[in-house]
Structure 1
């Protein structure tokens, strides 16, 4: 009876918290992961939108434990296709600092990752995950401006407090067909089949608060070369 009770509670915990690396690995091994839904602008879940200043005001008072809990909720909601929690969407203009292809050691293992800084408030950085993007060259160059609108549905996955009271927010666009455009080119993204939940958040290194708007990280420049 004790063994049966333990297995019952263990199963509940594993299915209830897929954002935990161990639980995610167990679910993946037994093929019990919920497939991530390929949303469109018509089917993306409703949620509250935040600008850079709203983000800073919301998360600056959080202590380490509170931020950790909120980040777990972000990831859990994403992995469960927002069945119980609404997403938090990011909006605003961001100037690109660097871009590189995603690797097996990253949380998302295929596509591109773009690091940018808010045009309105340089204390807020953006990590734009572009899963499944098949491009040899970087989709954005240093200095380009990315504008996240309501129809981008850029959902928060992780908020990281950095030095000098700065924040970095990692987002993934849920409306994959209309994520971003360069000229007349549509950047087609796809939801990942599996994530590396043991990888480090945030995905990119902190470029710092000085000289970051005019100088890319050498590692990211090298990684972006085809």
Structure 2
């Protein structure tokens, strides 16, 4: 049971204690697993019918598949253009304890938010600013880890780029990410707070979040 369900906080702690965690694989654009890709409208249509219990089961499967390097299940990838609402560094109290996280809203559908986790990104300056717009493309391999239903039938999807490299500022800078050695599975999901449905921003610079060629 412990090995089969590493997404459970107690199981994860036991596996970590006895050094039995499966190391997270550092994928590239050439080795990232095949999966289904959804835009904002498709992802909302997919998860809108789920009740609380069904969503909990699906979220457990998302995390289990990630921790097992997608040995038995394909990832679900998110595509689309998103406008940044907030950016902050990750902390020890978060699920991912090192790097940065971006909260953004779909430019196509305001009912869909995304949390873009950038694990291991060692930058003193935030990689994005509020109001920036970024694109999750197929080569971003932004895999879903958690789907949260919010007020007014909105949803937030937490994603991590499986290829662990991203281009920011229209290709001017390569952001090097690394798979985490340890996660804080007792931390709260989603990782950021809901800014609410009325959060508005002015249009700013558009940036691409796409996996860079090695």
Shorter-normalised TM range: over 0.9
Q: Considering only aligned residues, what root-mean-square deviation do their CA atoms show, in Å?
A: 0.8
2: CA distance, partners of 1:131 / 1:182: 18
Matches within 5 A, 1:88-99: 88-99=76-87
User: What TM-score results when the alignment is normalised by the length of structure 2?
Assistant: 0.93
1:33 maps to which of 17, 21, 35? 21
Q: Give the counterpart of 1:152 among 140, 154, 163.
A: 140
TM-aligned CA deviation for residue 182 of structure 1: 1.9
Aligned-partner SS, 2:73 = coil
Tell me the residue number matched to 2:70: 82
1:55 to 43, 50, 74: 43
Comparing both structures, which one devotes a greater share of its residues to helix? Answer: 1
Per-residue deviation, 1:211: 2.7
Tell me how far apart the structure 1 counterparts of residues 162 and 21 of structure 2 sit (CA, whole Å): 18
1:4-23 superposed matches below 5 A: 13-23=1-11
- Alignment length (residue pairs): 201
- Runs of 4+ in structure 1 off by over 4 angstroms are none
5+ residue gaps, structure 2, are 203-214
Q: 1:123, 1:135 → 2: CA distance?
A: 30
Task: Mark the runs of 5 or more structure 1 residues left unpaired by the alignment.
Answer: 1-12, 215-226
- The C-alpha deviation readout for 1:100-145, integer Å capped at 9, x for no partner, is 0000000000000000000000000000000000001110001111
Matched, 1:186 2:174: yes
In 1: Cα distance, 2:14 partner to 2:82 partner: 37
Q: TM-score, normalised by structure 1?
A: 0.88
Q: How does 1:130-169 map to 2 (within 5 A)?
A: 130-169=118-157
Report the Cα distance in structure 2 between the residues aligned to 1:26 and 1:168, rounded to whole angstroms. 30
CA shift at 1:146, angstroms? 1.1
Larger radius of gyration, structure 1 or 2?
1
Specify the alignment match of 2:210 in structure 1.
Answer: none
Counting only pairs closer than 5 Å after superposition, residues 58-137 of structure 1 correspond to structure 2 as 58-137=46-125
Query: Equivalents in 2 of 1:155, 1:163: separation in Å?
Result: 24
What are the Cα deviations for residues 186-212 of structure 1, in whole angstroms up to 9, with x where unaligned? 010000000000000000000000034
Structure 2 CA distance for aligned equivalents of residues 211 and 157 of structure 1: 24
Deviations 1:14-62 (A, max 9, x none): 0000000000000000000000000000000000000000011000000
- How many Å separate the matches in 1 of 2:140 and 2:109? 20
